[in-house]
Amino acid sequence: MKTSQQELYQEEIARCRRLYRGFENLEPFLLEAFQAVFSFIESYEERGGILEKVNFDKRKAWSRLKNGESMEINPTIQTRALVGILNELGQAVVRISPEIKDSITNFQKILENFQEKSKERVLKEEVWKLKELVVGEDILARDMATFIFTLALSAIYRFNLEAVSKGLRTDLWEGGNCALCGEKPHFGLLRSEDGAKIIECWLCGTQWNHIRIKCPYCSNTEQEQLGFFTVEENDSCRVQFCKKCSSYYKLFDTRSIAGENIVLSVHNLATLSYDILAREEGFKAGSGLEWVNEGEKLELDD
């Protein structure tokens, strides 16, 4: 992610403020968080090495995707850089919410211990275990931990894998998981020009076409078991659900969102109340990303 990307994200945050009620409460967090991430990654741009370099044979990749196999790219992450980004995000949160300073201090101690005991480079699976440790020891609430860890990982992957992602023939891919890294999606879009469903990987940013009437998690195509709902008649975001596997994901209808170069990850964060409502309706996140704390309820103003 380059400096120009920071401006792009700031513009998207301003657009989300106009689209989603209640987003102004989260806006300060996002501005501080993205500033922290961009600044840190930019400082590493000359040094490189946050994410292990990825190379693949395009012909072999074409054959693999054609056969329905994701590339399952899972590079190692430089431990020191990962901890550095997580620390920066923790400090950004404290600047907005000083009352959780003690929690962030404990979080930073956990990170210091993780760095001391880990190898020079770690896999993302180890990072998820660290997140669960932080939640399990009541260091951070689940939604805050998910926010910090997904933002850090996504920034690292997108910055380092953007060129790789663009070089992948995703037009050959019809799977429900990411063609490049294999992660399950959490959101996508309805394309403005034709309403086609495009899924985007929350981690690496890879996009691919997906059949409109099909669950990306269980491949269910029975129309009566598939549906969606919106919140407060806002058509910009649809919560798509599947009754067969009880999963949901979000689609952002770009036909109702004015502008270009829409940053879906910002819209995802701007609509976390939709995740809470989906949970209340009995659906789980097919991506595995839990943005909802135990017992959390959606509260809307009258």
| DSSP assignment string, 183-217 | PPPSEEEE-TTT--EEEE-TTT--EEE--SSS-TT
Same domain, residue pair 34 and 119: yes
- Other C-beta atoms closer than 10 Å to the C-beta of 233 total 5
- pLDDT tens string 220-276: 999 999 999 998 888 899 999 999 999 999 999 998 887 777 899 999 999 999 999
Whether 88 and 150 map to the same domain: the answer is: yes
273 falls within a domain: yes
DSSP 3-state of 246: coil
Position 294 confidence tier, pLDDT thresholds 50, 70, 90: low
- Top-confidence residue, 299 or 128: 128
Tokens of 261: 């170069």
Nearest CA among 298, 270, 274 for reference residue 31: 270
Q: Is residue 275 part of a domain?
A: yes
Same domain, 241 and 268: yes
Q: Are residues 182 and 236 in the same domain?
A: yes
What is the number of other CB atoms lying within 10 angstroms of the CB of residue 136?
10
Domain count, the chain: 2
If you average pLDDT over residues 196-210, what whole number do you get? 96
> Of the ranges 42-46, 165-169, 255-259, which one carries the lowest mean pLDDT score?
42-46
Q: Both 79 and 145 in a single domain?
A: yes
pLDDT of residue 300: 47
Domain assignment present for residue 217? The answer is yes
Which residue, 56, 182, 41, is CA-closest to 123?
Answer: 182
What count of other Cβ atoms lies within 10 Å of the Cβ of residue 158?
21
pLDDT for residue 111 is more than 70: yes
Q: Is residue 292 part of a domain?
A: no
* pLDDT of res. 298: 55
**pLDDT recorded at residue 296:** 62
Does the pLDDT value for residue 36 go beyond 80? yes
**Mean pLDDT, the chain, integer:** 91
Q: Label residues 159-197 b or e (16+ Cβ within 10 Å = b).
A: bbbbebbeebebebbbbbbbbbbbbbbbbbbbebeeeeb
**Which candidate, 71, 81, 51, 82, places its Cα nearest to that of 158?**
51
Q: Which of these three, 166, 198, 213, is where a domain ends?
A: 166
pLDDT, average across residues 82-88: 96
Return the pLDDT at 274.
93
The CA distance from 12 to 18, in Å, is 10
Query: Which residues make Cβ contacts (< 8 Å) with residue 167, sequence separation at least 6?
Result: 58
Q: Are residues 15 and 52 in the same domain?
A: yes
Confidence class for position 299, pLDDT limits 50, 70, 90: low
Residues 157 and 177 in one domain: no
- Residue 299 included in any domain: no
Whether 68 and 89 share a structural domain: yes
pLDDT at 24: 86
Q: Is the pTM of this model over 0.85?
A: yes
- Closest by CA position to 68, among listed 176, 161, 163: 176
Q: Is the pLDDT of residue 156 over 70?
A: yes
Confidence of residue 2 (pLDDT cuts 50, 70, 90): very low
Residue 180 has pLDDT above 60, yes or no: yes
Q: How far apart are CA 18 and CA 20, in angstroms?
A: 6
| Same domain flag for 160 and 202 | no
CATH number for the domain that contains residue 231: 3.90.1670.10
Q: Is residue 109 part of a domain?
A: yes
Say what the pLDDT of residue 216 is: 97
Q: Is the domain of 76 the same as that of 50?
A: yes
Flag whether 94 is in a domain. yes
**Mean pLDDT calculated for residue range 35-59:** 83
Q: Do 57 and 143 lie in a common domain?
A: yes
Tokens of 237: 């975001």
Q: Is the pLDDT of residue 198 over 80?
A: yes
Give every CB contact of residue 168 below 8 A, 6+ residues apart in sequence: 61, 65, 71, 179, 180, 206
More confident residue, 169 or 287: 287
Domain that includes residue 198, residue range = 173-285
Q: What pLDDT sits at residue 302? A: 40
| Confidence (pLDDT) at 132 | 95
pLDDT tens-place string over residues 63-73 = 999 999 999 99
Mean pLDDT, range 31-57, rounded to an integer: 84
Enter the DSSP assignment of 269.
H
- Whether residue 297 is contained in a domain is answered as no
Q: What is the pLDDT of residue 1?
A: 43
Residues 162 and 29 placed together within one structural domain of the fold? yes
Cα gap 160→113, rounded to integer Å: 26
Does position 207 have pLDDT exceeding 50, yes or no? yes
Contact status, residue 37 vs residue 85, Cβ threshold 8 Å: yes
